[in-house]
Amino acid sequence: MNLVVGATGMVGTEVCRLLASTRKPVKAFVRVTSEPAKVQKLEGLGATVVKGDLRDRASLKAACEGVDTVIATASSMPFAYRPDDNTPRSTDQDGALGLIAAAREAGVQRFVYTSFPAMAASFPLQDAKRAVEERLRSSGLTYTILQPTYFTEIWLSPAVGFDPPNHKAVIYGTGDNRISWISFLDVAQFAAASLDNPTARNATIALGGPEGVSPSEVVNIFEKAGGQPFEVTHVPVEALRAQLAAATDPMQKSFAGLMLSYASATPIDMTATLKGFSLELRTVAEHARSVMAP
């Protein structure tokens, strides 16, 4: 049995779909407050829905019973954040640490965890991810830590200032550094494939797309796909540093840290990883064509 924690999120739902499509049994761990439509979708995929909360140890213990593998994709960011009860500290750190403990107690054999590559700045979401990775490596569980870089569907969307419908784009930094943007669909592919892949055992795997593409090049790709020029605004690195230093809210601080790291990100060489996984990755151009299609 495979337990997917964060099953109503983008990556989690796709992992459930992939596992169900290969007839692997799936438990989908969802919050009581999850959107009914998302829960119904999971049930439609054939997943067994179990309700609980990462911050509720009893519900974690119950969910892990009879489970061989845990796939943890849950996060308070970017869309589930609430300052009162769903933060990087409460969910991404304490909740994930509680899940590792519950998995050990229940005799779970394998744990697949979605994180992101180490970044230079300290901010709440990064601090949470690094703490969980450290605990998982020393837990005694067979682990796979996936570290995908910037998600195409989030970082090339209006949520962070990249607004294709209105032909506008905010670029953090100079826009000249190449970033290995990756689709959440491909992250889910790696998570599902990790279950049966010996190269993923006790491994930390940096994940990116098929090529490095600079933010400025991304704008050009979208302009070509849509046939119209974009209005581009640059946010200097100095402004991002000031924003990180001034932020007090965990989400604002984390976003500032992520944007600052975006401004200096470098490509991830996927050559060796793809030899072990044999997956075909989606390109930025493919994403642009799907977004800009009439």
In angstroms, the Cα distances linking 125 to 3, 94, 112, 181, 233 are 23, 12, 18, 19, 26
Q: How many domains does the chain have?
A: 1
Examine residue 166 and state whether it is found in any structural domain, yes or no: no
pLDDT band at 80 (very low <50, low <70, confident <90, very high): confident
**pLDDT more than 70, % of the chain:** 100
Examine residue 227 and state whether it is found in any structural domain, yes or no: no
Question: In the predicted model, is pLDDT for residue 294 greater than 80?
Answer: no
Residue 82, domain CATH:
3.40.50.720
For 127-175, write each residue's pLDDT tens digit: 999 999 999 999 999 999 999 999 999 999 999 999 999 999 999 999 9
Examine residue 31 and state whether it is found in any structural domain, yes or no: yes
Examine residue 223 and state whether it is found in any structural domain, yes or no: no
**What would the mean pLDDT of 216-224 be, rounded to a whole number?**
98
pLDDT score at 159: 93
Question: In the predicted model, is pLDDT for residue 293 greater than 90?
Answer: no
Higher pLDDT, 97 or 55: 97
Examine residue 79 and state whether it is found in any structural domain, yes or no: yes
Containing domain of residue 28, as a range? 2-150+182-209+267-281
**What would the mean pLDDT of 42-53 be, rounded to a whole number?**
96
Q: How far apart are the first and last CA of the chain?
A: 42
Question: In the predicted model, is pLDDT for residue 119 greater than 80?
Answer: yes
Q: Which residues of 213-235 are buried (b: 16+ CB within 10 A; e: fewer)?
A: bbbbbbbebbbebbeeebeeebb
Examine residue 231 and state whether it is found in any structural domain, yes or no: no
Question: In the predicted model, is pLDDT for residue 213 greater than 90?
Answer: yes
pLDDT score at 86: 85
Examine residue 116 and state whether it is found in any structural domain, yes or no: yes
**What would the mean pLDDT of 254-261 be, rounded to a whole number?**
96
pLDDT band at 22 (very low <50, low <70, confident <90, very high): very high
Question: In the predicted model, is pLDDT for residue 189 greater than 80?
Answer: yes
Examine residue 25 and state whether it is found in any structural domain, yes or no: yes
pTM of the model: 0.96
